[in-house]
C-alpha cells in the first residue's frame, strides 16, 4: 500500500526539503540513511500491520556498497509522521569531496558523519567540517555532526571527539547552527534524536520557503 498522502505520487517532492549527507568514505552514511528510512517507515500507521509493536528496536543495518556518486533517498510524507512534507536525503560519497559544493545550494540542512572509531582520520574530518561551516552557501543552514559507530569498543569518547574536532569552539562560533549527536547506525543509538533534528530542520526550511514566497519581488 502506498504511504504517500498526495494524489500525484511524486507531487510532494516539490515541497520537500533536501538534506545533504556528507562525510569521509566508510564513516557510515549509507547505513545511517537506511536506518532513517526504516525508522520513517515504521512510524507510518499505514505500514504497521496488526500487532506490530510500533518498533523501538533498530532494524538490522542494510548491506552497503561504497557510494561512488550521489544517492537520493526519498521519504514521502506519511500520516502522523514526523515529516509532514516528506524529506529528501542526498548522500554524496566521501571520494566525491571535490564536488560536494555542487549540492550546497539545494540543501536545506547538512548531516556530517564522522567515524568515531577511526582516530587516524579525525583530522581530515575536522578540516572538512571547518570548510563546510565556512562556506557561504551553507551559512546559517542547520548542520548536524553525527559521531557515528559509538557501538565500537574502541570509539573515542565524546570529550575526546569534542577536543579533536573542536566542537565546543565551532558551536560557539556558529550559535544555533550546529548540533552534535552521538549515534550508531548499526545499533540505532541516537536515532530518535536524529529524527527529531531532521523534523525540526524540515519545518524550518518550510517556514523559510513560506516567508520567501511572501516577500515582495523587486523589479
Ligand X SMILES: Nc1nc2c(ncn2[C@@H]2O[C@H](COP(=O)(O)OP(=O)(O)O)[C@@H](O)[C@H]2O)c(=O)[nH]1
Binding residues for GTP: 23-30, 94, 148-151
Sheet of 87-92: strands edge to edge?
A: 70-75, 87-92, 17-23, 107-115, 143-148, 178-182
Question: For ligand X, which stretch binds (CB under 6 A), given 9-17, 120-128, 147-155, 168-176?
Answer: 147-155
Q: Which residue has the cell 565524546?
A: 158
Q: Which is nearer to ligand X, 89 or 205 (CB)?
A: 89
Length of the chain measured in residues? 219
Residue 184 binds which entry of ligand X, Mg ion, none, with Cβ cut-offs from 5 to 8 Å by kind? ligand X
31 binds, among ligand X, Mg ion, none (CB under 5 to 8 A by kind): ligand X
Strands (E), 49-199: 70-75, 87-92, 107-115, 143-148, 178-182
- Taking the mean position of all CA atoms in its chain, how far away is CA 28? 12
Give the three cell numbers for residue 168: 565546543
Q: How many residues bind ligand X (CB under 6 A)?
A: 21
Among 6, 13, 15, 26, binds ligand X (CB under 6 A): 26
Q: Which of 183, 179, 211 is nearest to 197 (CA)?
A: 179
End-to-end CA distance of the chain: 47
The reply on whether position 25 binds ligand X by CB under 6 A is yes
Q: How far is CA 82 from CA 36, 64, 201, in A?
A: 12, 26, 11
Query: Taking CB under 6 A as the rule, which mask of x and - marks residues 45-74 in contact with ligand X?
Result: ----------------x--x-xx-------
> Which of 85, 184, 198, 205 lies at the binding interface for ligand X (CB under 6 A)?
184
With CB under 5 A as the contact rule, the residue among 35, 67, 118, 177 that binds Mg ion is 67
Nearest to 78 by CA among 38, 36, 41, 108: 41
Binding span for ligand X by CB under 6 A among 99-107, 146-154, 192-200, 207-215: 146-154
188 binding ligand X? (CB under 6 A): no
| Residue numbers at the binding site for ligand X (CB under 6 A) | 23, 25-31, 61, 64, 66-67, 94, 113, 148-149, 151-152, 184-186
Provide the binding-site residues for Mg ion, judged by CB under 5 A: 29-30, 67
Amino acid at each position: 500500500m502506498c504511504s504517500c498522502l498526495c494524489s500525484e505520487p511524486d507531487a510532494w517532492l516539490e515541497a520537500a526539503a533536501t538534506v545533504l549527507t556528507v562525510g569521509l568514505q566508510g564513516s557510515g552514511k549509507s547505513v545511517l540513511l537506511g536506518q532513517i528510512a526504516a525508522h520513517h517507515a515504521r512510524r507510518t500507521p499505514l505500514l504497521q500491520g496488526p500487532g506490530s509493536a510500533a518498533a523501538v528496536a533498530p532494524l538490522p543495518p542494510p548491506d552497503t556498497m561504497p557510494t561512488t556518486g550521489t544517492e537520493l533517498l526519498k521519504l514521502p510524507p506519511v500520516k502522523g509522521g514526523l515529516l509532514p512534507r516528506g524529506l529528501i536525503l542526498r548522500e554524496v560519497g566521501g571520494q566525491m569531496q571535490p564536488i560536494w559544493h555542487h549540492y550546497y545550494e539545494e540543501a536545506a540542512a547538512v548531516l556530517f558523519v564522522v567515524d568515531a572509531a577511526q582516530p587516524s582520520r579525525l583530522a581530515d574530518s575536522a578540516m572538512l567540517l571547518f570548510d563546510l561551516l565556512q562556506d557561504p552557501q551553507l551559512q546559517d543552514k542547520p548542520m548536524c555532526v553525527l559521531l557515528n559507530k559509538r557501538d565500537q569498543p574502541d570509539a573515542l569518547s565524546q570529550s575526546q571527539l569534542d577536543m579533536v574536532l573542536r566542537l565546543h569552539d565551532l558551536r560557539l562560533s556558529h550559535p544555533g547552527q550546529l548540533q552534535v549527536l552521538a549515534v550508531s547506525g548499526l545499533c540505532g543509538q541516537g536515532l530518535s534524536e536524529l529524527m527529531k533534528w531532521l523534523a525540526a530542520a524540515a519545518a524550518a526550511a518550510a517556514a523559510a520557503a513560506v516567508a520567501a514566497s511572501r516577500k515582495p519581488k523587486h523589479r
